[in-house]
Amino acid sequence: MKIPLVDLKAQYAGIKSEIDRAIQRVLEETDFIGGSAVREFETAFASYCGTRTAVGLANGTDALQLTLLACGIGNGDEVITAVNTFIATSEAISATGARPVFVDNDPHTYTIDVQKIEEKITPRTKAIIPVHLYGQPAAMDVINEIAERHGLVVIEDAAQAHGARYKIKTVGNLGRLACFSFYPGKNLGAYGDAGAIATNDEELANKVRMLANHGRLKKYEHEMEGYNSRLDTIQAAVLLVKLRHLKEWTEKRQQIASRYTQLLSSAKEIVTPSKNPDATHVFHLYVVRVQQREQVRQTLKEAGIATGIHYPIPLHQQPAYRYLGLPTGSYPVAERYAGELLSLPMYPELTEEQIEFVCATLLKACQSNTAARHH
């Protein structure tokens, strides 16, 4: 049995006729930039998030960068974010001229540790970007309370958390604005690069829309210099089709996660994901922690099971951030967990038989490690 980490072929097989028809329509209309599918998708996605508005963009990294710029953040400013995230979050901060300031992750939920945010705030701090890591919203009540007290903007990095909820609110309504990625492997993925923002702040959304389209709202009238970061029509057409299935796919991910936890939680060698009782996790990734991770990973690989590591090197230890001068020991939780995190196969088409095989193989691999240690 071969089990990939993500199976986009299985997903395409299930929606082929709808996708092919949608792409064909764009080819026939040749409205490749700014076509009708773009506005249709923006309306449908805003409605999915329960926000006033959404703006389609070229990718999730640009969504973060353009949002920071639209909030007036740049040279000399500091922006707080999680140390365990994909580098796109901090790259977007640096791209505006601001400096990323990292915070360790919560030892249970893996999202930003809200106990450690305030100690990082300085007079230069302008914003906080909590990352809804692996599909679980960060502790947004505390984050918003801290932000309000210090006059900071809260921008959600929702690249992994389409449709996730915190208390009664959906992602997109938990800060000033939320940034999404539709990278193919994300919960809602295009057939190439794509992204969006969702927000209730229409003025800010308009600024992002202008920045993404050469600083204009009309064809040759440029309010400012901007960028080229539009969502293209073919991707919008693909996303419109897939959005109709997202609720069902999310429920499948949640069922698969429950099944994994049920099968794995009796093993003391394996730490299954902790859920924040206030949050609804949409399981972009199902991440466990194990000891002797590389050995366990190898055993799974030999059995045909692909796994991932999200992420193997905390951002402060990346060569790219050597200039920040943050020594080992600065982020103890992220540093320790970087050697233990293991992402198991997670996609809506995963079958019961595959889930059982992954769990049986993982249990055997961890238990033989424990036995070896006791000899």
Ligand X SMILES: *Cc1c(COP(=O)(O)O)cnc(C)c1O
Question: Closest distance between ligand X and the C-beta of residue 268, in Å?
Answer: 30
* Identity of the residue, 51 or 59, whose beta carbon is nearer to ligand X in the bound complex: 59
| Of 150, 206, 149, nearest in space to 177 by CA | 206
Give the integer Cα–Cα distance in Å for 38 and 35.
6
Q: Which CB sits closer to ligand X, 194 or 366?
A: 194
Identity of the amino acid at 74: G
For the bound state, the minimum distance from the C-beta of residue 62 to ligand X, rounded and expressed in Å, comes to 7
Least distance (Å) between residue 351 CB and ligand X: 26
The answer to whether 167 touches 142, Cβ cutoff 8 Å, is no
The site for ligand X (CB under 6 A) is made up of: 59-61, 85-86, 88-89, 131, 157, 159-160, 181, 183, 193, 195
Based on CB atoms, which residue is closest to ligand X, 143 or 263?
A: 143
Report in angstroms how near the CB of residue 329 gets to ligand X at its nearest: 25
| Closest CB 262 distance from ligand X, rounded Å | 27
Residue closer to ligand X (CB basis): 80 or 264: 80
Q: Which two tokens stand for residue 240?
A: 């419109």
Cβ closest to ligand X, residue 183 vs residue 260: 183
147/161 with CB nearer ligand X? 161
Angstrom distances, CA of residue 245 to CA of 14, 169, 249: 10, 21, 6
Residue 12 beta carbon to ligand X: minimum distance, rounded to whole angstroms: 19
Q: Between 136 and 170, name the residue whose CB sits nearer to ligand X.
A: 136
Tokens of 215: 């600083």
Question: Residue 338 or residue 355: which is nearer to ligand X going by CB?
Answer: 338
Query: Minimum distance from CB of 138 to ligand X (Å)?
Result: 11
Q: Name the residue whose CB lies closest to ligand X.
A: 60
Q: How far is the CB of 58 from ligand X (least distance, A)?
A: 8
